[in-house]
């Protein structure tokens, strides 16, 4: 059996791979790994997105937590970053979020936060997996955990978001696509409190419609609504609202790379960009690298996954990082990616610069990018001399106007070949050449 935890918790088809039995067992194991070893009674906080299966899994996780003596605070449907924030705000030892983020409705997931609302490093997840194999003591009587509801969780989180922005958004017309997900109430409310005129779409979750042709993975309806209403800007969240993409007034998409550039420049002007450094993954477009270089900002790259961005931000005390997909992390205000927080600060950048988001995003001149998935028998082919020789040769062809990235898939027998170049034709030609070398071994 492979590793149970993926890049963002345990995820799978609800009631198939991700069963109530597994959810209960994970909850029990997490208490033993994450709670204080002292005499203090463990405290866990749990929330979920709007998926129907979240009701079933919530009951199973709560049962597991209570059965090993943890008290539980239930907050209901709120975004993942809200659960991280409230884990810290309530002093809980453990945070649990039930969500499969941008995945289709039938999937679900369990992600854990440590005290302070921080995501878990790989070694702690491995310890939770190992603890699944052990029997855990079960308290009885008064030692069984107790459950209570946090009725003001949404208000506490919304007030926190609004407190991070010192800008009046009056005069801005904003469309926000809530993906029929966890931020359907809090995202429009936070924008309105700052003065914006807000048009909320896909903000009526029914348990079955989360991410269905909406949100950050399906931007067409957001762009159409921006154009239809003459809005200044549009924001698209995903099901658990830990990511945000945007639409300019002309309906053009503003991706995570452009968002990071806008925020980095804004923070640098304000003197809030620690070390004049931005943290992104290796998948960010070379255009972002060029824009940051021209602005005097250092771009530090990590492996793919927001957890690796987070680790670098924490280790180096940097103040901004993210991914092309729209996971943007601002450690001064959040311990994880927060789509609503991102939208508030982007809107503030528009107000304070007097420029539309499309004009602000133009600082990133995206280079044509080609991504090929090459089936392989052995993913170590990327380390052979023949492949390295072709890489060196093609890197010379691209010069400083492009780059090549070879990345073995973490879950499939594939090697991903990514090439950026000054023209689409050159990117395709180089990608085809490198892919042929990978296939030949």
Catalytic residue ranges? 101
Beta bridge partners, 176, equal: 200, 235
Q: How far apart are CA 240 and CA 376, in angstroms?
A: 34
Closest to 267 in 3D by CA, of 295, 307, 288: 295
The answer to whether the beta carbons of residues 406 and 438 sit under 8 Å apart is yes
Q: What is the DSSP track for 174-206?
A: EEEE-TTSTTTTHHHHHHHHTT-EEEEES----
Question: What is d(CA 18, CA 214) in angstroms, rounded to the nearest whole number?
Answer: 24
- Angstrom CA distances, 433 to 6, 290, 367, stand at 32, 25, 19
Burial class of 347 by CB neighbour count within 10 A (0 to 12, 13 to 18, 19+)? buried
Closest alpha carbon to 198 in 185, 211, 217: 185
* Token pair belonging to 126: 């491995």
Is the dihedral angle over the CA atoms 219, 264, 194, 189 positive or is it negative? positive
Q: Which residues are annotated as a binding site?
A: 101, 238, 240, 242
How far, CA to CA in Å, does 369 sit from each of 150, 249, 426? 46, 25, 10
Distance CA 159, CA 361 (A): 28
Report whether 109 contacts 18 (CB < 8 A).
yes
Report the alpha-carbon distance of residue 403 to residue 386 in Å, rounded: 18
Q: What φ, ψ does residue 157 adopt, rounded to 5°?
A: -70, -45
Q: Are strands 173-177 and 233-237 parallel, antiparallel or unpaired?
A: parallel
Specify the 3-state DSSP secondary structure of 270: helix
Of the candidates 7, 13, 243, 201, the one whose C-alpha atom is nearest the C-alpha of residue 105 is: 13
Residue-wise over 146-174: b if at least 16 C-beta within 10 A, else e? eeeebeebbebbbebbeebbebebeebbb
Rounded to an integer, what distance in angstroms lies between the CA atom of residue 329 and that of residue 348? 16
Which residues are annotated binding-site positions for Mg(2+)? 101, 238, 240, 242
Nearest to 119 by CA among 281, 334, 325, 409: 334
How far apart (Å, rounded) are the C-alpha atoms in residues 129 and 123? 10
């Amino acid at each position: 059996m492979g590793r149970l935890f993926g890049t963002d918790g345990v995820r799978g088809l609800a009631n198939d791979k991700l069963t109530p039995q597994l959810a209960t067992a994970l909850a029990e194991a997490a208490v033993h790994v994450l709670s204080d070893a002292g005499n203090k009674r463990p405290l866990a906080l749990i929330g979920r997105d709007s998926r129907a299966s979240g009701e079933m899994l919530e009951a199973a996780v709560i049962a597991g937590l209570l059965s090993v003596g943890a008290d539980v605070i239930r907050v209901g449907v709120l975004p993942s970053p809200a659960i991280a924030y409230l884990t810290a705000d309530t002093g809980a030892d453990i945070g649990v979020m039930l969500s499969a983020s941008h995945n289709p409705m039938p999937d679900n997931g369990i992600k854990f936060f440590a005290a302070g609302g921080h995501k878990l490093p790989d070694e702690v997840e491995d310890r939770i997996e190992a603890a699944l194999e052990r029997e855990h003591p079960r308290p009885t009587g008064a030692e069984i955990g107790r459950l209570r509801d946090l009725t003001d969780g949404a208000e506490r989180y919304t007030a926190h978001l609004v407190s991070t922005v010192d800008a009046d958004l009056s005069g801005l017309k904003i469309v926000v696509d809530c993906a029929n997900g966890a931020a359907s109430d809090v995202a429009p409310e936070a924008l309105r409190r700052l003065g914006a005129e807000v048009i909320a779409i896909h903000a009526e979750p029914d348990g079955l419609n989360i991410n269905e042709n909406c949100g950050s993975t399906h931007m067409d309806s957001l762009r159409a609504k921006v154009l239809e209403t003459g809005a200044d800007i549009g924001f698209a969240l995903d099901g658990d609202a830990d990511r945000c993409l945007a639409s300019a007034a002309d309906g053009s998409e503003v991706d995570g790379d452009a968002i990071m550039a806008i925020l980095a420049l804004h923070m640098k002007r304000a003197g809030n960009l620690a070390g004049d450094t931005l943290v992104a993954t290796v998948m960010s477009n070379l255009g972002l690298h060029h824009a940051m270089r021209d602005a005097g900002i250092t771009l530090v790259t990590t492996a793919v996954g927001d957890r690796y961005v987070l680790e670098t931000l924490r280790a180096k005390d940097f103040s901004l990082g993210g991914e092309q997909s729209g996971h943007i992390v601002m450690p001064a205000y959040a311990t994880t990616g927060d789509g609503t927080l991102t939208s508030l600060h982007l809107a503030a950048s528009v107000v304070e610069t007097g420029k539309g988001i499309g004009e602000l995003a133009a600082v990133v001149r995206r280079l044509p990018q080609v991504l090929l998935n090459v089936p392989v028998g052995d993913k170590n082919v990327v380390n052979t001399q023949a492949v390295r020789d072709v890489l060196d040769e093609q890197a010379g062809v691209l010069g400083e106007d492009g780059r090549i990235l070879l990345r073995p898939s973490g879950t499939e027998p594939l090697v991903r070949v990514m090439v950026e170049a000054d023209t689409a034709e050159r990117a395709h030609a180089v990608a085809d050449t490198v892919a042929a070398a990978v296939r030949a071994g």
